[in-house]
Amino acid sequence: MKVLVLNGPNLGRLDIRDSSIYGDMTYPALVSHIEGAAKTHGFDADVRQSNDEAEIIGWLHEAADTNTPVIINPAAFTHYSYAIRDAAELVKAPLIEVHLSNPLAREEFRHTSVISGVANGTIGGFGPNSYVLALIALKALVA
């Protein structure tokens, strides 16, 4: 089964971000980590990253039209993109929000997610393994 894994702004630059928050994995290594874990759990992961809100919305529309499950790390869009939230709500297959860091352990403005209210669940704070945990949860949701 295909799963669409969407990553928001600045995640493509993990190698130069604050390693105390985001770890020291490069984005290509993160993609490999996700793809390997997906295969282990019976999924074919289509991993994408964009800094463009409109492109992420288009990908969510694609998932809605094809009934494809989604794992999404909206990054900074988590806190204010009602447009991404509305597009995520159109996805009727399971949708799981993930974060490398724990937003609730960070600045107060990061404590609010406009996405989590339309997601089946939210997983954060486990670094790259947040995606692995999301795949495990997704497997149970589609079973």
Q: Which residues are annotated as a binding site?
A: 73, 79, 86, 100-101, 110
Contact 77, 56 (CB under 8 A): yes
Indicate the annotated binding residues for substrate.
73, 79, 86, 100-101, 110
Tracing tokens 């288009």 back to the chain, one arrives at 58
Catalytic residue among 41, 61, 99, 131: 99
SS3 per residue for 47-68: EEECCCHHHHHHHHHHHHHHCC
Catalytic residue among 22, 33, 61, 82: 22
115 contact partners, CB below 8 Å, separation of at least 6: 72, 74, 77, 78, 81, 84, 85, 88, 97, 122
DSSP secondary-structure letter at 126? S
Q: Does residue 99 carry a catalytic annotation?
A: yes
Residue 47 main-chain phi, psi, to 5 deg:
-95, 125
Q: Does residue 22 carry a catalytic annotation?
A: yes
Catalytic residue positions?
22, 99
